[in-house]
Structure 1
Amino acid sequence: MIHPEWLVVERGEAPVLASIPHAGTEIPEGIRRNMVSPALSLRDTDWWLEYLYDFLRDLGVTIVRTKVSRTVADMNRDPSGISLYPGRATTELCPTTTFDGVPLYKPGWEPSQDEIEQRCSTYFRPYHEALEGEVARLSALHKRVVIYDCHSIRSVIPRLFSGELPHISIGTNDGLSCSPALSALVAATFSSSRYTCVTDERFKGGWITRQYGKPEQGIHAIQLELACRTYMAETDKLEPAPYSEARAREIRTYLKLALVRIIDWGQS
């Protein structure tokens, strides 16, 4: 199958599919010119995950990721518009503000309902068609398939949560999206590290985790959210610090170990 240029699909044979829906930085010019600024439009990017997880292909993990920014279309939101966290601040399928509540668009240039539907057709649906296709392919090869949804977020965002986030937040939709044995295995990987790790607290998994996780059918979905300070320097500037292999090396060791254990679990 030929995918659009912005949609990257790298096939592996291991029983794991890594989804990276928020690391893209491309914004079509027709959308960009209606926004306040390029830097602000990328404020909530999951920075550098394609580098942080560049070992995935060596492990035989299938990768589905988008080069398009989440401000164009957020692949991890319920397309019906239902909030993943009712009563809490969040952003939409086509965000109009940053996580801090700062408007992304010039006044009067926010996307209309027709434009939102167009972006959904152009970006959201093809991404999920790719996910569904790869899950089906891997399910034909393995009795268990794990969707590992890769995310990161600024450590402190007062509008969304109080205080500082743990280094690692595992999301399983309160245990509904994957086997308890899988989430326990992932959490145990970080138990001997210096990193704080929680499960199903502030982040319970987004729409991808909740939509695809069907443990009773052999499809297990788990989200791993990294606080950005875990692997990169955080500043108050809109522009991110460059990726640093030296800074990321320690957490990469644990992330790779977690993926190896997930693969072994999927093959058992």
Structure 2
Amino acid sequence: MNSYITVKQENHFSPILLSIPHSGIEIPEGIQVRINPKAKRIHTDWEMDTFIKDFPFTSISSKLTRYIVDVNRSKFTSKTSALPIIPKYDEDGNSLFKQYPSKAIQQQWLKEFYTPYYDAILDQISLKKQNFSKICLLDLHSYDDHSFSSNKIIISTREHSTISKESLKFIVHCFEKAALSIQVDKPFKGGNIIHEVSKQPNVEAIQIEIPYSLYLYNNTLDPQKSKSLQEKLLQIFLQIEEYYKK
């Protein structure tokens, strides 16, 4: 297994799989000489891997910062897109690299960091399909709600293309019962992970974006806020688990 991908196989006997692609902050030693040390790397899903570490579900997370390789972007991103797999600029428009990697190096990074993440997901789905006819991937993210016109939890479905109407209705109801304010597909429609994974037979997927203000203080876990949200999300995820076991 790639040393920058962590797979915690907590529970094969659950149809739920968690993905945490953007909590990583590490930069490989061989790449550090290439980066611009003055560039910012603000939009990280801070502590999300730690936040769910005690949840009784198999999880896959990346230790690598999304500012080197963003595993939640499509390989087929156009040249004009502002969100390539290997991003060029930080939030303020500063170059992330002293010298942007050549096409050959880009392909090397994709092989080393990008493809293995999807392979890890598909491996775990295959294991779960030995026990369940239907699997659900929960792709977990967070966002700085001071930078967006929302402070709600965002459930993303790529405009209802990654999950059935019935399943989404159930999940939305679970969040509402827990008194957690949500929006669907606004302002985030969901990234490439749920798009690709939901193409698998009998697999549904959603992206869940949690506002920083609900669980963080200065990019670290807020003891009180995070514990309260952990308790609510764990109960929601357990309800989702029971739904997919039927």
Q: TM over 0.5: same fold?
A: yes
Change in CA separation of 1:36 and 1:208 when aligned onto 2, cut-off 3 Å: same
Change in CA separation of 1:223 and 1:136 when aligned onto 2, cut-off 3 Å: same
Residue segments in structure 2 that go unaligned for 5+ positions in a row:
none
Change in CA separation of 1:34 and 1:205 when aligned onto 2, cut-off 3 Å: same
Change in CA separation of 1:34 and 1:254 when aligned onto 2, cut-off 3 Å: same
Q: Check the 8 A contact 1:15/1:142 in 2, yes or no.
A: yes
Q: Matched residues in 2 for 1:73 and 1:79: separation?
A: 11
Q: Check the 8 A contact 1:178/1:214 in 2, yes or no.
A: no
Cross-structure match for 2:228: 250
Q: Check the 8 A contact 2:39/2:94 in 1, yes or no.
A: no
Q: Matched residues in 2 for 1:39 and 1:263: separation?
A: 41
Q: Check the 8 A contact 2:36/2:96 in 1, yes or no.
A: yes
Q: Matched residues in 2 for 1:258 and 1:101: separation?
A: 38
**CA-to-aligned-CA distance 1:210-238 (integer Å, 9 cap, x gap):** 111148x31001110112112112xxxxx
Cross-structure match for 2:7: 9
TM-superposed CA distance for 1:193, in Å, is: 5.0
Change in CA separation of 1:193 and 1:261 when aligned onto 2, cut-off 3 Å: closer
Q: TM-score, normalised by structure 2?
A: 0.91
Secondary structure, counterpart of 1:127 in structure 2:
helix
Give the letter aligned to residue 208 of structure 2. Answer: L
TM-superposed CA distance for 1:95, in Å, is: 1.1
Change in CA separation of 1:241 and 1:19 when aligned onto 2, cut-off 3 Å: closer
Cross-structure match for 1:201: 186
Secondary structure, counterpart of 1:191 in structure 2:
helix
**Residue 241 in structure 1 maps to residue 219 in structure 2:** yes
Q: Matched residues in 1 for 2:238 and 2:38: separation?
A: 37
Alignment partner for residue 185 of structure 1, among 170, 175, 178?
170
Superposed CA RMSD: 2.1
Residue segments in structure 1 that go unaligned for 5+ positions in a row:
158-162, 234-239
Give the letter aligned to residue 24 of structure 1. Answer: G
TM-superposed CA distance for 1:93, in Å, is: 0.2
Give the letter aligned to residue 218 of structure 1. Answer: N
Q: Check the 8 A contact 2:60/2:120 in 1, yes or no.
A: yes
TM-superposed CA distance for 1:195, in Å, is: 4.0
Cross-structure match for 1:34: 34
Q: TM-score, normalised by structure 1?
A: 0.84
Secondary structure, counterpart of 2:119 in structure 1:
helix
Q: Check the 8 A contact 1:15/1:266 in 2, yes or no.
A: yes
Change in CA separation of 1:265 and 1:38 when aligned onto 2, cut-off 3 Å: farther
**CA-to-aligned-CA distance 1:165-192 (integer Å, 9 cap, x gap):** 2320001111111122222222222324
Cross-structure match for 1:95: 87
Aligned pairs for 1:159-178 within 5 A? 163-178=148-163
Q: Check the 8 A contact 1:185/1:261 in 2, yes or no.
A: no
Change in CA separation of 1:39 and 1:195 when aligned onto 2, cut-off 3 Å: farther
Q: Matched residues in 2 for 1:209 and 1:152: separation?
A: 16
Q: Matched residues in 2 for 1:179 and 1:99: separation?
A: 35
Secondary structure, counterpart of 2:220 in structure 1:
coil
Q: Matched residues in 1 for 2:38 and 2:138: separation?
A: 29
Change in CA separation of 1:121 and 1:52 when aligned onto 2, cut-off 3 Å: same
Cross-structure match for 1:228: 212
Q: Check the 8 A contact 2:73/2:192 in 1, yes or no.
A: yes
Cross-structure match for 1:79: 75
Change in CA separation of 1:98 and 1:165 when aligned onto 2, cut-off 3 Å: farther
